[in-house]
């Protein structure tokens, strides 16, 4: 039996609750198939688009006097609940359909970050929807947000993305896993918190869920980390006429491609770095990057980019 941490990309979860539920339902079938095949599965997910949408909606309501202001960490916690709810329900329905008994639970997860992390001075994490250059400039002026171009897909707001240091709820997550519960944890990379004198306080940022998923996978001593996103493979020269898919990527080649600037900071770079940090020094471990729809094929070794330990 392998222990597998599967991380679902926020951008791969669609643009609306309807789209997200449909995508999650399809992936739930593959995830339960993985469990039925005898594996222990732990799930994490991103929240970039969703936390940005929630934040913008709450900002709009607050500015129009309809609600109190909702700080960014609270929006992050809401995104964990929203996405976790869809995942829980889809997984429970799939279990029911297959006549399987298993508890499924989402743990609101806090992740400790360093208050001195230089990321707080340099926002890089894209959140929310995609805008044209003109729309982005207008929102920048109105709200003071920072926007950048995101992997050829349009302009997006960016927020600080500090490194994850410690998963606060780790003991409870491990206890749930040991008890056979299907756990959804570290959603959106975890709500970022700082720890001062033992007290935790939320901070406005979004931790990269690939990095938190790698930390979670390492902490629970998983055999595999599977990162599901919107593309079937990692590519060299992505989106260019000479793009080349990578079925296997050695650790040395991954580092060479990072150094050559092949992977953008807000999208593919953290996935590659997360995979490297998970497998490094662990020849028995394996990391896979593929699409949500491609999970079944990836499990059969027919799709996806594999990084071996």
Interface with ligand ADP (CB under 6 A): 9-12, 46, 48, 151, 229-231, 234-235, 238, 262-264, 267-268
Catalytic residue among 48, 209, 266, 304: 209
Q: How far is the CB of 290 from ligand CP (least distance, A)?
A: 15
Tell me the C-alpha distance between 92 and 88, whole Å: 6
β-sheet with 155-159: strand ranges across: 125-131, 155-159, 146-149
- Please say if 125 is a catalytic residue: yes
- Please say if 237 is a catalytic residue: no
Site for ligand CP in 193-222 (CB under 6 A): 206, 208-209
Tell me the C-alpha distance between 63 and 285, whole Å: 49
Residue 189 touches which member of ligand CP, ligand ADP, none, C-beta under 5-8 Å by kind: ligand CP
Tell me the C-alpha distance between 100 and 102, whole Å: 7
Q: Does 9 bind ligand CP (CB under 6 A)?
A: yes
Tell me the C-alpha distance between 309 and 298, whole Å: 17
Nearer to ligand ADP, 6 or 194 (CB): 6
Contact 234, 272 (CB under 8 A): yes
Tokens of 263: 């992977």
Please state the separation of Cα 146 from the chain's center in Å: 21
DSSP lists the bridge partners of residue 149 as 155
Which range binds ligand CP by CB under 6 A, 7-15, 104-112, 136-144, 297-305? 7-15
Residue 82 touches which member of ligand CP, ligand ADP, none, C-beta under 5-8 Å by kind: none
| Count of chain residues binding ligand CP (CB under 6 A) | 11
x/- mask, ligand CP, residues 12-51, rule CB under 6 A, reads ----------------------------------xxx---
Catalytic residue among 9, 10, 46, 266: 10
Residue 268 touches which member of ligand ADP, ligand CP, none, C-beta under 5-8 Å by kind: ligand ADP
Catalytic residue among 9, 48, 187, 271: 271
Residue 21 touches which member of ligand ADP, ligand CP, none, C-beta under 5-8 Å by kind: none
Tokens of 120: 């707080």
Catalytic residue among 125, 128, 188, 286: 125
Catalytic residue among 9, 11, 188, 304: 11
Nearer to ligand ADP, 176 or 188 (CB): 188
Tell me the C-alpha distance between 277 and 219, whole Å: 12
- b or e along 122-138 (b: 16 or more beta carbons within 10 Å of the residue's beta carbon)? ebbbbbbebbeeeebee
Other residues' Cβ atoms within 10 Å of the Cβ of residue 299? 20
Q: How far is the CB of 207 from ligand CP (least distance, A)?
A: 6
Q: Does 188 bind ligand CP (CB under 6 A)?
A: yes
Nearer to ligand CP, 47 or 124 (CB): 47
- Please say if 93 is a catalytic residue: no
Residues 6+ apart with CB under 8 A from 202: 71, 72, 73, 74, 76, 77, 110, 191, 192, 193
- The residue written with tokens 């990057």 in the block is 289
- Interface residues with ligand CP (CB under 6 A) are 9-11, 46-48, 188-189, 206, 208-209
Q: Which residues are catalytic?
A: 10-11, 125, 209, 271
């Amino acid at each position: 039996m392998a222990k597998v941490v599967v991380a679902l990309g926020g951008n791969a979860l669609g643009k609306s609750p309807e789209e997200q539920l449909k995508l999650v339902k399809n992936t739930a079938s593959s995830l339960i198939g993985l469990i039925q095949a005898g594996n222990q599965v732990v799930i994490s997910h991103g929240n970039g688009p969703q936390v940005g949408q929630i934040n913008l909606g709450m900002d709009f309501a607050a500015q129009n006097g309809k609600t109190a202001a909702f700080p960014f960490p609270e929006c992050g916690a809401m995104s964990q609940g929203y996405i976790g709810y869809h995942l829980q329900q889809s997984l429970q329905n799939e279990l029911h359909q297959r006549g399987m008994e298993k508890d499924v639970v989402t743990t609101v997860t806090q992740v400790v970050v360093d208050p001195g992390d230089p990321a707080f001075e340099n926002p890089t994490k894209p959140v929310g929807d995609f805008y044209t250059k003109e729309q982005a400039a207008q929102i920048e002026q109105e709200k003071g947000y920072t926007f950048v171009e995101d992997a050829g897909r349009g302009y997006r707001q960016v927020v600080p993305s500090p490194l994850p240091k410690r998963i606060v709820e780790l003991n409870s997550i491990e206890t749930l896993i040991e008890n056979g519960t299907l756990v959804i944890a570290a959603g959106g990379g975890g709500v970022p918190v700082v720890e001062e004198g033992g007290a935790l306080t939320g901070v406005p940022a979004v931790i990269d869920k690939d990095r938190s998923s790698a930390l979670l996978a390492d902490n629970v001593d998983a055999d595999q980390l599977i990162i599901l996103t919107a593309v079937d493979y990692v590519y060299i020269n992505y989106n260019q006429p000479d793009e080349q898919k990578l079925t296997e990527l050695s650790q040395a080649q991954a580092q060479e491609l990072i150094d050559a600037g092949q992977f953008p900071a807000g999208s593919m770079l953290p996935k590659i770095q997360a995979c490297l940090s998970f497998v490094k020094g662990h020849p028995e471990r394996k990391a896979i990057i593929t699409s949500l729809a491609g999970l079944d094929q990836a499990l059969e070794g027919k799709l996806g980019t594999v990084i071996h330990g």
